Chain A
Amino acid sequence: MTEVAPAYYLALAGLMFSIGVIGALVRRNAIVIFMFIELMLNAVNLMFVTFSRIRGSVDGQILVFFVLVVAAAEAVVGLAIILVIVRRRASANVDDVSLLRW
């Protein structure tokens, strides 16, 4: 089994993160934006694991667990908010939720 150079992992993680950023910015459906955010989080996780491997320490992997836990909690809260919005407006379009402005 040939070793894959860490640079590839980092490139993949960077790509995933960029896709996540662009997706979160351009899409309007709250669920989809949410998925893009999860994508960014996972890109970061991948990066942590890669650096952990490069440096030969487990610190990065421990951090990944924290990120997973926080992401799960965040998903619960976020989905609950989205659910309430959908109930009130019969749509998951984030542009409809723009009351908090001047």
Chain B
Amino acid sequence: MVIAQEEVVAGFDPVLAPLIIGLPLAGAVILLLFGKRIGRFSGLLACGTIGLAAAIGLLNFIALLGAPEESRTATQHVFDFVSVGGFQTGVDLLLDPLSLVMVMVVTGVGTLIHIYSIGYMHGDPRYPRFFAYLNLFASFMLLLVLADNLLLLYVGWEGVGLCSYLLIGFWFDRPSAAAAAKKAFLVNRIGDFAFLIGMFVLFGAVGSLTVGQINASAGALSAGVATTAALLLFAGATGKSAQIPLYVWLPDAMEGPTPVSALIHAATMVTAGVYMVARFSPVFEASGGAALTVVGVIGAATALWAALMACTEYDIKRVLAYSTISQLGYMFLALGVGAYSIAVFHLVTHAFFKSLMFLGAGAVMHALDGNTDMRHMGGLRRAMPVVGYTFLVGWLAISGVIPFAGFWSKDAILAAAWVEGNYVLWGVGVFTALLTAFYMSRLYLRVFEGPLRTPEGTHPHDAPRTMAAALVPLAVLSVVGGVINLPVLLTLEHFLEPVVGESHAPEGALAFILSGIALVVGVGGIMLARSMYMMSGAEARRARLVRPMRPLVNGARRKFYIDELYGRLIVLPGKSFASFCADVLDRRGIDGIVNGTATLIGRTSQGLRHIQTGYVRNYAATFLFGVVAVFSFLILRVVAG
């Protein structure tokens, strides 16, 4: 008894946890209401709220590390949310290693991107509004990762979707931005719908929505129910995390301001699906392999598919967008082979180096008057050294060069696929790694190396201080991010073990062979890009290499006609059905009934009004006739008895 009490005292005690969500939310509310009056201080306010949230997150993280390993989970009840009959759902926050890792990523990267936005959005007429949305996004994302039950998680899930819509369409006066925002929202809705059904299935089977109870009773679910629920949840993840078949919104989402692309469409929101699958890993496990196989195959296919398109894209932001889809595919590949902690590891390192590269691309756009076409750029590293060198770090990290962060996490994913015996997934992953190194090198070499080339009429300048203030820390993290999960120390994996279980790492010589292959492939991709874009005679070599693959290259350049296919298969029938409803059902059917009634009454009164002659005698005669009729009736009734 005494021992048990001591354990409670020594356990992890959350510090001000509701404020992690509350502060950015308060910032958003204040900025939405008084943004105009706050004016140019909006950026500072937004940075302050998210910065404080990050500080509180860090306090909790330290408190968690101080707690003994077996008691590193705490839930905190904030207030009752839904309480109907026997159904109780509160706003409960779950603080455990997994959610706090996510909190650190969201608030850490989020703070840096908020600071960057001060410089990037400077002079925008709706500057306060931007920070309001950014803060709102942060609070919803934090709600998503801290939620202790599916319903609350779904609130955050929908909330980040809403913010994504608002921020993609932030420059809504551009028709392309408005269309992209609409597309992102609608495609996400498809996934969200499946997610909602999955939630119902789980509630029906388990009778509770809390994370703890769902995961605890997942093992008792029948394989069929577990597979259904897991696949529905995963369908939600394919929408939010841009996997096949719902990835089409992410490249278009690049219409939003670049900090948004970095924060929402690279570092945080798109990883919500990965987080969710890791969070409910027991449900996926309970399906007996079927659901996890789907997750892994979809992940690997997406990784390869998006990498192919990234190889031919000329828009620097869209290359990064396809790269994000591809890297998310890696994360799902890791989830699919049961290496949940490694997926989260890659999520963290990817958040560092991908947001770094997005912010770098934003700095390039900022310097070149919004130009994004890499064909008009070259040698920018010398014109803007801070951006150039930080981007160099991001490039080496994603290409998988030792010792940068991306090497460790990507290597760990490939190794996990091999150890689990999924040699096909491993092969796809390795080939994608080659493509990744190739397309990122293509981007980096064309934009930052070689002779200086800029679009006409632009004068590149280095990033302003606020932007550099975000780039440098992210670059440092991209270099050293790998240490959080060094193969010998296994810290992050071990840290996440209580939540997602352990994953198997290769041992002995196999580990070094697999790492060696990953490294060789990464360097090979870089060398290939170098020979095709940098060395003398690159043009001729490129033409020779491309010629046999002409159909593939052309297809990739047209995004494999997927948008057109979806347009034909889904959008067009939808539109035809809508216009059938509007023109036939509504205009002829419903309106026909309404207008028909009016016409009928109109015609009838047209006929009846001829009775109204205006002659008093006629009225009097009618009156008399009526009286006689009524009286005859009454008298007849009396007579008849």
Chain A residues within 8 Å of B, Cβ to Cβ: 21, 24-26, 28, 33, 94-95, 97-102
Contacting residues, chain B, for A28 (C-beta < 8 A): 617
Contacting residues, chain B, for A97 (C-beta < 8 A): 614, 616
Tell me if B616 and A94 are in contact (CB < 8 A). yes
Q: Can you offer 28 A-B residue contacts whose CB atoms are under 8 A? A: A21-B624, A24-B620, A25-B617, A25-B620, A25-B621, A25-B624, A26-B617, A28-B617, A33-B616, A94-B615, A94-B616, A94-B617, A95-B615, A95-B617, A97-B614, A97-B616, A98-B613, A98-B614, A98-B615, A99-B614, A100-B612, A100-B614, A101-B612, A101-B613, A101-B614, A102-B609, A102-B610, A102-B612
Write the chain A residue with the least CB distance to B605.
Answer: A102
CA distance A33 to B615 in the complex (A): 13
Closest 3 CB pairs of A and B: A98-B614, A101-B614, A102-B609
Known: A21-B624, A25-B624. 15 other contacts (CB 8 A): A24-B620, A25-B617, A25-B620, A26-B617, A28-B617, A94-B615, A94-B616, A97-B614, A98-B614, A98-B615, A100-B612, A101-B612, A101-B614, A102-B609, A102-B610
User: Taking the nearest CB of chain A, how far is it from the CB of B397, in angstroms?
Assistant: 88
Contacting residues, chain A, for B617 (C-beta < 8 A): 25-26, 28, 94-95
Contacting residues, chain A, for B621 (C-beta < 8 A): 25
Contacting residues, chain B, for A100 (C-beta < 8 A): 612, 614
Contacting residues, chain B, for A102 (C-beta < 8 A): 609-610, 612
CA distance A99 to B614 in the complex (A): 6
Write the chain B residue with the least CB distance to A33.
Answer: B616
CA distance A75 to B23 in the complex (A): 84
User: Taking the nearest CB of chain A, how far is it from the CB of B120, in angstroms?
Assistant: 73
CA distance A89 to B613 in the complex (A): 19
Write the chain A residue with the least CB distance to B628.
Answer: A21
CA distance A65 to B182 in the complex (A): 82
Contacting residues, chain A, for B609 (C-beta < 8 A): 102
How large, as a class, is the contact surface on chain B?
10 to 19
User: Taking the nearest CB of chain B, how far is it from the CB of A79, in angstroms?
Assistant: 16
Contacting residues, chain A, for B615 (C-beta < 8 A): 94-95, 98
Chain B residues 583 to 640 lying within 8 A of chain A, measured CB to CB, are 609-610, 612-617, 620-621, 624
Contacting residues, chain B, for A95 (C-beta < 8 A): 615, 617
CA distance A33 to B610 in the complex (A): 24
Contacting residues, chain A, for B613 (C-beta < 8 A): 98, 101
User: Taking the nearest CB of chain B, how far is it from the CB of A26, in angstroms?
Assistant: 8
Write the chain B residue with the least CB distance to A24.
Answer: B620
- The digit string for B481-511, where 1 denotes a CB below 8 A from any CB of A, is 0000000000000000000000000000000
User: Taking the nearest CB of chain B, how far is it from the CB of A70, in angstroms?
Assistant: 18
Write the chain A residue with the least CB distance to B616.
Answer: A94
User: Taking the nearest CB of chain A, how far is it from the CB of B295, in angstroms?
Assistant: 77
CA distance A62 to B573 in the complex (A): 82
CA distance A25 to B624 in the complex (A): 9
CA distance A26 to B617 in the complex (A): 7
User: Taking the nearest CB of chain A, how far is it from the CB of B438, in angstroms?
Assistant: 87
CA distance A7 to B624 in the complex (A): 24
CA distance A100 to B612 in the complex (A): 8
User: Taking the nearest CB of chain A, how far is it from the CB of B349, in angstroms?
Assistant: 86
CA distance A65 to B21 in the complex (A): 86
Residue from A28, A94, A101 whose CB has the most chain B CB atoms within 10 Å? A101
Write the chain B residue with the least CB distance to A98.
Answer: B614
Chain B residues 92 to 107 lying within 8 A of chain A, measured CB to CB, are none
CA distance A92 to B472 in the complex (A): 105
User: Taking the nearest CB of chain B, how far is it from the CB of A58, in angstroms?
Assistant: 26
CA distance A25 to B609 in the complex (A): 22
CA distance A24 to B614 in the complex (A): 16
CA distance A24 to B613 in the complex (A): 17
CA distance A26 to B615 in the complex (A): 12
CA distance A4 to B371 in the complex (A): 119
Contacting residues, chain A, for B620 (C-beta < 8 A): 24-25
Write the chain B residue with the least CB distance to A100.
Answer: B614
Contacting residues, chain A, for B624 (C-beta < 8 A): 21, 25
Write the chain B residue with the least CB distance to A22.
Answer: B624
User: Taking the nearest CB of chain A, how far is it from the CB of B265, in angstroms?
Assistant: 70
Contacting residues, chain B, for A26 (C-beta < 8 A): 617
User: Taking the nearest CB of chain A, how far is it from the CB of B586, in angstroms?
Assistant: 35
User: Taking the nearest CB of chain A, how far is it from the CB of B625, in angstroms?
Assistant: 11
Contacting residues, chain A, for B610 (C-beta < 8 A): 102
User: Taking the nearest CB of chain B, how far is it from the CB of A83, in angstroms?
Assistant: 17
User: Taking the nearest CB of chain A, how far is it from the CB of B595, in angstroms?
Assistant: 24
CA distance A101 to B339 in the complex (A): 89
CA distance A28 to B618 in the complex (A): 12
Chain B residues 300 to 323 lying within 8 A of chain A, measured CB to CB, are none
User: Taking the nearest CB of chain B, how far is it from the CB of A85, in angstroms?
Assistant: 11
Residue from A21, A24, A102 whose CB has the most chain B CB atoms within 10 Å? A102
CA distance A99 to B612 in the complex (A): 10
CA distance A94 to B616 in the complex (A): 7
Contacting residues, chain B, for A99 (C-beta < 8 A): 614
Contacting residues, chain B, for A21 (C-beta < 8 A): 624
Contacting residues, chain B, for A101 (C-beta < 8 A): 612-614
Chain B residues 417 to 443 lying within 8 A of chain A, measured CB to CB, are none
Write the chain B residue with the least CB distance to A28.
Answer: B617
Contacting residues, chain B, for A33 (C-beta < 8 A): 616
User: Taking the nearest CB of chain A, how far is it from the CB of B241, in angstroms?
Assistant: 72
- The digit string for B563-585, where 1 denotes a CB below 8 A from any CB of A, is 00000000000000000000000
User: Taking the nearest CB of chain A, how far is it from the CB of B260, in angstroms?
Assistant: 68
Write the chain B residue with the least CB distance to A37.
Answer: B620
Residue from A26, A33, A98 whose CB has the most chain B CB atoms within 10 Å? A98
CA distance A95 to B614 in the complex (A): 8
- The digit string for B143-171, where 1 denotes a CB below 8 A from any CB of A, is 00000000000000000000000000000
Write the chain A residue with the least CB distance to B610.
Answer: A102
CA distance A100 to B43 in the complex (A): 73
CA distance A94 to B619 in the complex (A): 12
Write the chain A residue with the least CB distance to B609.
Answer: A102
Contacting residues, chain B, for A94 (C-beta < 8 A): 615-617
Write the chain B residue with the least CB distance to A21.
Answer: B624
Contacting residues, chain A, for B612 (C-beta < 8 A): 100-102
Write the chain A residue with the least CB distance to B613.
Answer: A101
CA distance A62 to B612 in the complex (A): 38
Contacting residues, chain B, for A98 (C-beta < 8 A): 613-615
CA distance A26 to B624 in the complex (A): 13
User: Taking the nearest CB of chain B, how far is it from the CB of A44, in angstroms?
Assistant: 13
User: Taking the nearest CB of chain B, how far is it from the CB of A41, in angstroms?
Assistant: 15
CA distance A95 to B613 in the complex (A): 10
Contacting residues, chain A, for B616 (C-beta < 8 A): 33, 94, 97
User: Taking the nearest CB of chain A, how far is it from the CB of B30, in angstroms?
Assistant: 66
Write the chain B residue with the least CB distance to A30.
Answer: B616
CA distance A7 to B130 in the complex (A): 99
